[in-house]
Structure 1
Amino acid sequence: MKPLLFIHTADLHLDSPFKGLAHLPESLLKQIHESSFNSFRKMIDIALEHNVDFIIISGDLYDNENRSLKAQLFLRKEFARLDQRDIPVFIIHGNHDHLSGDWVTITWPKNVHVFSNELECKRWVNRNGTSVHLYGFSYQEREVLERKIDHYKKVDGADYHIGLLHGQEQNITGHNPYAPFHWSELEEKEFDYWALGHIHKLTKLKPTIFYSGNILGRHRKETGKKGCLLVELNDTKEVSTEFIETAPLIWETIELSINKITSAEQFFTYCDQRIDEIRMKNGSYMLHLNFSGEGPAAEVLEEKVQMDEWIEHVNSDQGYNNTFVWISSYENNTKKKWDIQQLLQQEDFLGDITRVTEHLAESSPEDIKEVLKELYGHRKAKQFLQPLNDDEYEKLLQDGRDLILKELLKEWGS
């Protein structure tokens, strides 16, 4: 029995529309639209360079069930490169590219093996006689809520057993709970490796159970390096993995604190320096700026026209032929630094407001809930409201106080 070397990837979303980016320069928008294809092409280069035994794609090759012809023809060309080296590809389809869609059918090279909507065991034997059983299924419809893991059963007669599954581990939140499972259920199957898809972040559940993540971030919540897993199984069934970056474009969030900023000039200089640090990495980045802290610079961030002009200047002051750094969005979580003690001592309306809000801030969450009871019980409003935890109640009070003080001081010319 010889060691196995293969690539595990998932969630390609090759025809992703990248919504909300139509305002970008045409040359930049073209690079972004091609980035998922370039990421996949690089992965194929890696497979050929390492002469892997096979590639596993664990669902969502396409972004929707109506697969674009462009994406299909691209995949066929790349799979043909593998076929020339006798490297097979094993594919399951997920919730985005399920089998009930409508698309132009093309013929795949002979090295491409697609699992049907019923759980299958596909057998593969390499030139050295090492045998592998691969188990998986493709989604027939977009929503698969059944615990498909119950149908996976080891079929004897192979050196290695590998499971392919596009679904959500039940301890992971924030995603649709398709084909749910618990990691312990996977371990009970005694497979040598589980190649998972659906979660867009590289995640190791156990030494033999991995989500490879997606090959390219598609929006600001999918930050960081993206790529594939190079997996080796040795003759003692030990698993070793290497993450290999393939994405030519990275979405990143920069945390910017204004705590030590005392002027508008210092604020913009600081921001420029932080963005230059990203440029030094020599890659393409879509940036989201998250401003936090308190101080005079909070007033700069409140001037939307001024901020928009600065962002336009930063974005236009570069070329887009090879690499770029683009500010795609920002959020303002700053606040002005109030002299609360001084306001508390004032015998005027500002002082009264400050004393009331400080008293509320010292109240228990139960007192605040009582104040908001009528709102949360309103027959129309309550459907749009989510329960708040203690920290969220505290932040609600602070934000409310800051808003009132800001508006009052603006009116008083202070």
Structure 2
Amino acid sequence: MEFTFIHAADIHLDSPLRGLEKYEGAPVEKIRNATREAFQNLVDLAIEKKVAFLLIAGDLYDGDWKDYNTGLFFISQMIRLHKEKINVYLIRGNHDAQSLITRELKLPANVFEFSVDHPKTITIESLQVALHGQGFASRAVTENLATSYPQKKEGYLNIGLLHTSATGHEGHENYAPCSVDDLKAKGYDYWALGHIHLREVLHKSNPVILFPGNIQGRHVREIGNKGCTIVTVKEGQIEQYEHHTLDVLRWEVCQVDASACETEQDVLDIASEKLEQLMNQSDGRFLAIRFRITGASEIHQKLIVEKEHVMNNIRSMALEVGTGDVWIEKVKIETSRKIDINELKENSTPIASILEFIEQIRNEPETVELLLAEFKDLQTVLPHELKTGEDAFDFTNPAIIEDRIKEVEDLILHYLTTKAGEVIA
């Protein structure tokens, strides 16, 4: 007997895509429903491939619903599968642990949720498959759930569903930790894991242990191809497993090396070329791109001073090249200056005196604390959007003064030197 099933995880249905700055011409409406469209793609795939069943290894939702529509949408998709006689088996993860998954809406008869109190085994007798799983009872589960899973059921294909950080992954909470050896000890044929948003195969065979990754990237730390895993079973054995793409919007980081650039237009030309390469690889998907402009460059100070101008020129270029299918998430100018600042300090010029004073501030913690005190009242009136995210202003943190000091140096070097880098007398 041969059949296929799908292993998916980390749907995060109706999770807002983060980090997408709004600006004129950005395709806001086109990407608002990205997680829903990716989930529809998952259901379409299950129907097209006539799979025996679908596994969802946690984080179907992104927390509690904001309204009933999230639950109604999920149920509508499950009914599509029900009509095709495809069952769905799911566990709760850390994000949907406390979510009222049904919110009093009855799930279709083809959807089975594993207990959050203890491991449970569900058998599919027609396929001789035994599914073992346990969901999260709370958001932060720190104990090793895998050790309490039952041993394999003899004569069946054994599959474990588990939401876990496994041995730990950067950027993910260390929930339900376990080792590969813990999982192998159960004697299962396949472990359907969830929680880690990057596809990763922890063990290639006997048993197969893998994270399929999430089905739709939600921010710039979740770049590249996203989807699920299709597994083929033949004569009671895992014959093969392969990734299948589902995402409708793809996040990418595009690095532009400005080290050889002499003008802003040179930077835009390189950015345009890089963007076209990414578009050719995207298979028609929308792209959300972060540009990182790097390298020791003659135009470093100009790029810093005219950051808004550079950013909006890149956005304009993206609108033209991408014909509306590209969103510039952010432009990070991370170039460095070619001017030897130590050499400038050695000259008897006004700029040398200013640079020496800035260096003095940098090396005196007491002065930094005084500056922070000056900004204390400003911190309380800053709008929320300026106090959150990676570029947030936090005037209680001395590090922000140190970062701004470098920007001040760049401004001085731009305005008080000539284009050739010579000090103004």
Report the TM-score, using the length of structure 1 for normalisation: 0.80
Quote the offset at 1:293 in angstroms: 0.5
Q: What is the match of residue 359 of structure 1?
A: none
Q: Does structure 1 residue 407 correspond to structure 2 residue 406? A: no
Q: What is the match of residue 363 of structure 1?
A: none
In the alignment, is the contact (CA less than 8 A) between 1:133 and 1:158 conserved in 2? no
Q: How does 1:287-366 map to 2 (within 5 A)?
A: 287-302=289-304, 303-314=306-317, 316-317=319-320, 324-338=325-339
Q: Which moved more, 1:249-258 or 1:331-340?
A: 331-340
Quote the offset at 1:147 in angstroms: 1.3
Partners of 1:48 and 1:95 in 2: how far apart? 28
Change (3 A) 1:353 1:158: farther
Partners of 1:372 and 1:121 in 2: how far apart? 64
Q: What is the match of residue 28 of structure 1?
A: 27
In the alignment, is the contact (CA less than 8 A) between 2:212 and 2:229 conserved in 1? yes
What is the aligned length? 386
Q: What is the match of residue 196 of structure 1?
A: 193
Q: What is the match of residue 365 of structure 1?
A: none
Q: How does 1:385-396 map to 2 (within 5 A)?
A: none
Q: How does 1:13-24 map to 2 (within 5 A)?
A: 13-21=12-20, 23=22
In the alignment, is the contact (CA less than 8 A) between 1:58 and 1:197 conserved in 2? yes
Quote the offset at 1:348 in angstroms: 6.7
Query: Given residue 219 of structure 1, which amino acid in structure 2 is its aligned partner?
Result: H
In the alignment, is the contact (CA less than 8 A) between 1:350 and 1:405 conserved in 2? no
The Cα offsets for residues 51-85 of structure 1, whole Å up to 9 and x where unpaired, read as 11111000111111337422222222222222222
Provide the secondary structure at the position in 2 that maps to 1:254. Answer: strand
Partners of 2:234 and 2:55 in 1: how far apart? 18
In the alignment, is the contact (CA less than 8 A) between 1:278 and 1:325 conserved in 2? no
Q: Does structure 1 residue 179 correspond to structure 2 residue 176? A: yes
Quote the offset at 1:261 in angstroms: 1.1
Q: How does 1:136-285 map to 2 (within 5 A)?
A: 136-207=133-204, 208-235=208-235, 237-281=237-281, 282-285=284-287
Q: What is the match of residue 45 of structure 1?
A: 44
Q: How does 1:67-86 map to 2 (within 5 A)?
A: 68-86=67-85
Quote the offset at 1:108 in angstroms: 2.0
Quote the offset at 1:248 in angstroms: 1.0
Quote the offset at 1:289 in angstroms: 0.5
Change (3 A) 1:176 1:385: farther
Q: What is the match of residue 105 of structure 2?
A: 106
The Cα offsets for residues 78-136 of structure 1, whole Å up to 9 and x where unpaired, read as 2222222221110111111114548622122221111121211111123xxx3111111
Quote the offset at 1:242 in angstroms: 0.9
Q: What is the match of residue 11 of structure 1?
A: 10
Query: Given residue 339 of structure 2, which amino acid in structure 1 is its aligned partner?
Result: W
Change (3 A) 1:289 1:22: closer
Q: Give the superposed CA RMSD.
A: 3.7
In the alignment, is the contact (CA less than 8 A) between 1:67 and 1:97 conserved in 2? no
Change (3 A) 1:219 1:134: same
Provide the secondary structure at the position in 1 that maps to 2:250. Answer: strand
Partners of 1:412 and 1:23 in 2: how far apart? 35
Provide the secondary structure at the position in 1 that maps to 2:27. Answer: helix
In the alignment, is the contact (CA less than 8 A) between 2:255 and 2:293 conserved in 1? yes
In the alignment, is the contact (CA less than 8 A) between 1:100 and 1:141 conserved in 2? no
Q: What is the match of residue 389 of structure 2?
A: none
The Cα offsets for residues 336-383 of structure 1, whole Å up to 9 and x where unpaired, read as 21257975985778789999xxxxxxxxxxxxxxx89999xxxx99x9
Quote the offset at 1:158 in angstroms: 4.0
Change (3 A) 1:100 1:354: closer
In the alignment, is the contact (CA less than 8 A) between 2:89 and 2:111 conserved in 1? yes
Q: Which moved more, 1:38-47 or 1:15-24?
A: 15-24
Change (3 A) 1:22 1:326: closer
In the alignment, is the contact (CA less than 8 A) between 1:171 and 1:182 conserved in 2? no
Provide the secondary structure at the position in 2 that maps to 1:224. Answer: coil
In the alignment, is the contact (CA less than 8 A) between 2:301 and 2:410 conserved in 1? no
Partners of 2:240 and 2:315 in 1: how far apart? 46
Change (3 A) 1:244 1:385: farther
Quote the offset at 1:406 in angstroms: 6.3
Q: What is the match of residue 54 of structure 1?
A: 53
Q: What is the match of residue 361 of structure 1?
A: none
Q: How does 1:364-383 map to 2 (within 5 A)?
A: none
Query: Given residue 210 of structure 1, which amino acid in structure 2 is its aligned partner?
Result: L
Query: Given residue 304 of structure 1, which amino acid in structure 2 is its aligned partner?
Result: K
Change (3 A) 1:191 1:68: farther
Q: Which moved more, 1:293-302 or 1:201-210?
A: 293-302
Partners of 1:258 and 1:142 in 2: how far apart? 44
Q: Which moved more, 1:287-296 or 1:156-165?
A: 156-165
Partners of 1:193 and 1:244 in 2: how far apart? 18
Q: Which moved more, 1:244-253 or 1:303-312?
A: 303-312
Partners of 2:299 and 2:413 in 1: how far apart? 19
Query: Given residue 187 of structure 2, which amino acid in structure 1 is its aligned partner?
Result: E
In the alignment, is the contact (CA less than 8 A) between 2:19 and 2:329 conserved in 1? no
Quote the offset at 1:274 in angstroms: 2.1
